[in-house]
Amino acid sequence: MSSVRLRGIEIAYTDEGSGAPIVFLHGFPFNRSMWRDQIDALRETHRVIAPDLRGHGESEVAPVTIPEMARDVAGLLTALDINQAVVGGLSMGGYVALSFCRQFSERVTALLLADTRASADTEEGKQNRALQAERVMLEGMEGIANEMLPKLLRPESKPDVVSRVRQMIVRTKPLGAVAALQAMATRDDQTDFLSRINKPTLILVGVEDVITPLKDSQLMLHEIQRSSLEIIQQAGHVSNLEQPEQFNRLVNVFLERTFVSNQQQTAKN
């Protein structure tokens, strides 16, 4: 396992391939293994980095906020001698990607926002997080896995996908999950920031996502000037795992377009 110590906490990460860097940020309560299909598909042409965000996977647990998770990503990129990267995240990873863009805009080549939203939690959402945190402490991660799986994936999802998602959830440390629930409940609303994003942005959403439904992506499309939206068919919230081929194809087309247009821009200057 590769890891780096950032502000006193050990952060585990994957770093494979070579080429223009792209960093993938996982959702809650998952870990970097959710990006395996994307890493395999992109490593021939890109340097692909995927950390376990604080409290998840093999990284250490500590109280955390979404902006702090974004600062960890910046610290990791610095440790890897990477100045700029395409920054992509799914769901909670998308909250972190938006926060990263807000804090370190000059380090973002392009953004990839999958099955995520810019708005903060509603009061009801915050109360649900508190109940979920209580449940985690009482029942461990099994209870949360049973509660979340029907919302994360479609009923028709392949058994191996269901099993991968369940494994990620039950392997998450309960205290890490509680810290992330608090981080998500207290995160800022990023809607006002969207119109200030001036980076090529690909928004992806599973057509059957019930956690961050299509309307959340449509709002981001409306507000982010250089954005495009792609809808992944036969996918729920974890669209990269349910439909890796569609997801990877759309990401590849976006990356090709982004790097060609960046090169043209550099040639013009």
Distances 204 to 32, 34, 151, 193, 265 between C-alpha atoms, Å = 19, 16, 18, 19, 25
CB of 211 to ligand MLT, least distance (A): 5
User: Does residue 55 touch ligand MLT according to CB under 6 A?
Assistant: no
Q: Which of 25, 50, 92, 110 binds ligand MLT (CB under 6 A)?
A: 92
Separation between Cα atoms, residue 152 and residue 241, nearest integer Å: 11
- The residue among 132 and 201 lying less far from ligand MLT, judged by its C-beta, is 132
Q: Which of 22, 184, 194, 255 binds ligand MLT (CB under 6 A)?
A: 184
Sheet holding 108-114, edge to edge: 2-6, 9-16, 46-51, 20-25, 85-90, 108-114, 201-206, 227-232
Q: Which of 61, 111, 203, 211 binds ligand MLT (CB under 6 A)?
A: 211
CB of 119 to ligand MLT, least distance (A): 10
User: Does residue 27 touch ligand MLT according to CB under 6 A?
Assistant: yes
User: Amino acid letter at 203?
Assistant: I
CB of 39 to ligand MLT, least distance (A): 19
Q: Cα–chain-centroid distance for residue 194?
A: 17
User: Does residue 176 touch ligand MLT according to CB under 6 A?
Assistant: no
DSSP states of 128-188: HHHHHHHHHHHH-HHHHHHHHHHHHS-TT--HHHHHHHHHHHHHS-HHHHHHHHHHHHTPP
- The residue among 212 and 227 lying less far from ligand MLT, judged by its C-beta, is 212
Site string for ligand MLT, 212-251 (x = CB under 6 A): -------------------------x--------------
Measured between alpha carbons, how far apart are the two ends of the chain, in Å?
42
Separation between Cα atoms, residue 101 and residue 110, nearest integer Å: 9
Separation between Cα atoms, residue 4 and residue 180, nearest integer Å: 20
Question: Mapping DSSP to helix (H, G, I), strand (E, B) and coil, where does residue 207 land?
Answer: coil
* Structural tokens at position 222: 């409306």
- The residue among 82 and 162 lying less far from ligand MLT, judged by its C-beta, is 162
User: Amino acid letter at 36?
Assistant: R
Question: Mapping DSSP to helix (H, G, I), strand (E, B) and coil, where does residue 12 land?
Answer: strand
Separation between Cα atoms, residue 91 and residue 165, nearest integer Å: 14
User: Does residue 50 touch ligand MLT according to CB under 6 A?
Assistant: no
User: Does residue 112 touch ligand MLT according to CB under 6 A?
Assistant: no
User: Does residue 89 touch ligand MLT according to CB under 6 A?
Assistant: no
CB of 73 to ligand MLT, least distance (A): 15
- As a dihedral over the C-alpha atoms of residue 116, residue 236, residue 55, residue 175, rounded to 10 degrees, the angle is 110
- The residue among 22 and 97 lying less far from ligand MLT, judged by its C-beta, is 97
Q: Which of 24, 28, 247, 259 binds ligand MLT (CB under 6 A)?
A: 28
- The residue among 41 and 168 lying less far from ligand MLT, judged by its C-beta, is 168
User: Does residue 91 touch ligand MLT according to CB under 6 A?
Assistant: yes
CB of 240 to ligand MLT, least distance (A): 11
Task: List residues binding ligand MLT (CB under 6 A).
Answer: 27-28, 91-92, 184, 211, 237
